[in-house]
A and B are shown apart, each in its own frame.
Chain A
Amino acid sequence: DGGITQSPKYLFRKEGQNVTLSCEQNLNHDAMYWYRQDPGQGLRLIYYSQIVNDFQKGDIAEGYSVSREKKESFPLTVTSAQKNPTAFYLCASRANNYGYTFGSGTRLTVV
């Protein structure tokens, strides 16, 4: 089955540590997105990529970094500069009809 796989499902980060969230898709979609979701809030766009080797900042990019070396993969690194990283992170890819397919999310907690 085609879809998006996010790993790990749960991730714990120590203060001052960088962590990387994985997002892999086998849908052959060009565009991919990273969102942050906080309790009781909507989705906030962190970064997006429309094509391999290209990406743009979203609304809350500070403290995050991404890469897009392969069409299938769009990893997100949460750096130590992100002061409040505890949240639910969602990855998505976009089909030609503009609809998104979402992964199942990674819950990041600072310990």
Chain B
Amino acid sequence: AQSVAQPEDQVNVAEGNPLTVKCTYSVSGNPYLFWYVQYPNRGLQFLLKYITGDNLVKGSYGFEAEFNKSQTSFHLKKPSALVSDSALYFCAVRDPYGNNRLAFGKGNQVVVIP
């Protein structure tokens, strides 16, 4: 089955420092990868996706992600974190064998410290 792993439960970073949220994937075939962000008591918001093309994908709110096929990773990055980036971040991969459902990781809580 297609799956993603988000190895860290929580990521703490000082405001202004680079932010990285890790995601590794396991798929058969070409991966379709996504990042979503969730603020408290809200639905998930789309940040960015990789389907094909450049390995560096730019998304909303200054976030980007790098697709690395050899390491099967799709880490989310932001050069300079803001306090408002504190939220729950989910990585997801399309499962073509599961009716194209998205398989979500368990989520990473990001805490940006002022």
Instruction: Determine if B41 and A42 form an interchain contact, defined as CB atoms under 8 angstroms apart.
Output: no
Residues in B with CB closer than 8 Å to A98 are: 32, 34, 51, 94, 100, 102
Instruction: Determine if A90 and B43 form an interchain contact, defined as CB atoms under 8 angstroms apart.
Output: yes
How many angstroms between the C-alpha atoms of A50 and B99 in the bound complex? 8
Residues in A with CB closer than 8 Å to B106 are: 41-42
Instruction: Determine if A100 and B51 form an interchain contact, defined as CB atoms under 8 angstroms apart.
Output: no
Contact-residue bracket for chain A: 20 to 34
Residues in B with CB closer than 8 Å to A97 are: 49, 51
Instruction: Determine if B99 and A104 form an interchain contact, defined as CB atoms under 8 angstroms apart.
Output: no
Q: Number of B interface residues, CB 8 Å?
A: 22
| Chain B interface main SS type | strand
Instruction: Determine if A99 and B104 form an interchain contact, defined as CB atoms under 8 angstroms apart.
Output: no
Q: Mark B76-108, 1 if CB is under 8 A from A, else 0.
A: 000000000000001010100001111011110
Instruction: Determine if B99 and A100 form an interchain contact, defined as CB atoms under 8 angstroms apart.
Output: no
User: Closest CB of chain A to B63's CB: distance in Å?
Assistant: 15
User: Closest CB of chain B to A99's CB: distance in Å?
Assistant: 6
In this assembly, does A33 line the interface, its C-beta being within 8 Å of a C-beta of chain B?
yes
Q: Mark A33-62, 1 if CB is under 8 A from B, else 0.
A: 100000001110100101000001000000
How many angstroms between the C-alpha atoms of A99 and B24 in the bound complex? 18
Residues in A with CB closer than 8 Å to B107 are: 41-43
Within 8 A of B (CB), among A52-111: 56, 88, 90, 92, 94, 97-105, 107
